[in-house]
Amino acid sequence: MKDRYSIGVGLLFAAVIAVALVSTVGEDEGTLGLDEVAERWALPEFAVPRAAGPLEGDANLAQDDCETAGTPCPAGERRPPACRIRTPGALRVCDFFARPLVLSFWFSRGGDCVAQQDAVDAVYARYRGRVAFLSLNVRDDRDAARELVASHGWGMPVGYDRDGAVAGLYRVGGCPTFAFAYPGGTLQDAAIGELTEAQLSARVEALLRATRAAEALSRQTRRTASTLPPARGQS
């Protein structure tokens, strides 16, 4: 029998949790961009509707399985993880993990980060093909979000976090909040507050340098491991 979350545009993105715009996680977990996060913190999985598209609903926050996910699973119901759904109009964060990734969280209610997204889109155009970008609108009116994407002509992917669930999961505490991640989806750096095009480009260059260094270290580690003699008792 098909999972009810995998059929129907409106059902796939059934709400998991309702959170305020400012993260409600415990104080010990901190705020992304302000407090320290564990080294190589794995970005939580999520899938959201594309902001300018027709798909409606809340974010899917289901992780790899119900036993290990920090987000509760529905009672008596197992859902497909966010990164395994196959729904037209959905943006899955793991689809951006093949390259270094810049995540941008923003909203216009109670503040105005729209101009910042113009800068993000300009940097996206400059690094397209080398760095992945995903912009997430948090809790704005959906029609207003669609209009903003259309009127500003943004080419970067823009997702819609209707109830702020993804922002809560990522400990977002202000607008804009940026997460910079290595390929594979682990955190390299984070920032909160507006960045100019030049400042954001500098952050992206730092991410690329960190990625090259990590890849070089990984290659060296593999070469070293391949030259070591087998452990006693192994052939």
Average pLDDT over the chain reads 81
pTM of model > 0.75: yes
Starting at the earlier edge strand, list the strands of the sheet with 158-161.
158-161, 132-138, 101-106, 177-182, 186-192
Q: Which CATH superfamily is domain 4-226 in?
A: Glutaredoxin (3.40.30.10)
- Enumerate residues 6+ apart whose C-beta is below 8 A from 127: 133, 201, 204
Neighbours of 206 (CB within 10 A): 13
pLDDT tens, residue by residue, 37-62: 666 789 999 999 999 999 999 999 98
For residue range 208-227, what is the model confidence (pLDDT) as tens digits? 999 999 999 888 887 777 77
Q: Give the chain's residues under pLDDT 70.
A: 1-29, 37-39, 64-79, 110-111, 228, 230-235
Question: What is the Cα–Cα distance from 30 to 177, expressed in whole angstroms?
Answer: 14
Ordered by start, the domain boundaries in the chain are 4-226
Strands (E), 76-167: 90-92, 101-106, 132-138, 158-161
Report helix angle 197-227 to 114-127, nearest 10.
50
